[in-house]
Structure 1
């Protein structure tokens, strides 16, 4: 196994103070966290986004659904304006758009038939809503972006790390890219290493390196793979198709690299901040840029597509991205879930 060395522990007083505050918050949550009457599997990250968490959530939900579980995803609904817990999907398509539900829940609702989705600032209240309104009720909850949401008790904690930057510099802001210290990895039952080139050997090496921070769980690769780009109507984009790339995500470099790998003719790129809300001025800018580019399609991400589709008549195309956890992960997960029902 290749040895990987994590960054040295921070010596800054600020970093230590911030890390201690996180530890206190988790200890307090362990005493007061609300619990749902069904198993809760949390999927989250230590980083401030861009880890490939959403494709992992989608892969888990689809696998568990196909195994016969009644899955409901619980999400904060970040950047959505729902004030109360809201059912976003019963499993047959979105009941609310991204402005209300948030872009990631809306994207998951569009791509996951047979999986219910509920959002709420209180994920416990969202889970109770799902239990009260869905027939039959869910028998398992997936807590999206749940690693830091310690207000809800969970039975399994899965930590998603990007292969390109697994340690996030080993620092919290302002000196690093972590929202929790590496020591928080001790709370994870397993890590999933994402990225196009993630391998089981890399995952094992990252897991071994995090042992110094207290991590003692399993480690698996969950490579994220871009499927062939296609127009919204379904027709695939042939190599050489002229496209204008548009994305509002945390790590657009992977999106750009995937488009280049498919040998599309890139006629321009427009990048926005993560979870960007497209306003009339943005749409006018897109339309002018598209007209000037000579592109045939405006190629975007799943998270952006659900926001752009209701707003523009430009010919949209999607570059889908899916996570494919290594085969060894699925029996590990099945054993863990079976143990919860004993």
Structure 2
């Protein structure tokens, strides 16, 4: 047997004594097999339900429902080892994104509607109101077609449950605004409701749908969730599904932009904002001509009203000076005041005031 020269002992030995320890048979920091199975089970269940099934969401469910604390990176490694995720190219850092978010709940609501098909292929529309600060879904209702009255009814129900917002943001759909309709018809029902409550109305620029991006992303989440379930047979069944989804989304789904809080928790964490001022009087000038029956038509709050002037003025050109419900009708040529009235919004026909006969 050869001798090892002094100063050149084999690795792991010093003076003939072993200096390294054998690898342990068990590791106290290794994730238990039962936990790994639970991770894979949660991944499959969340994905089947059309819900987010990423590592952060799984970590939240482990903490909230199983009293287990595990780092998202650890969960990702186990998902990758099970062949359930694939590495993706590096993404832009979160700090490079410019995000706009209201500072307080009810400071800004977003609204929009999307299309959902029933089991028989019938197309329906789902209207959603969302709090911009917390992503809390304030209302989600099903309709054959969303009309102006549906928007107002759903909006009032959301206010009854959650208070009056300071501002509302929507696209330029005719059920939300008439501002791109050339000024014809005045305010619609939703615009009038916002003005009555002194709520600021905001509308996205044409061809810029990302302005209402939060509510549109929520609608995409809703559609993924609906995909994992049998299609509703009618509106009532669809509304039941919407109510179930809304409850889950608000209270049982952590949101990455909310520091892994649920929208309900974020919505309740701060004091709510309120309208800050009046919307002012809505004034407009309209040129028209009295019809053959001596009447004019005027749309206010989305409802068409008929104003009686008299057959003697048939075909007369007029100028209508409109300030909310107050209307002055002037002969366009002579300047004669033909009628001065306040519209009764409960009546379609605004009759002429008849002078009472003298004694």
Q: With the length of structure 1 as denominator, give the TM-score of the two structures.
A: 0.24
More helix as a share of residues:
1
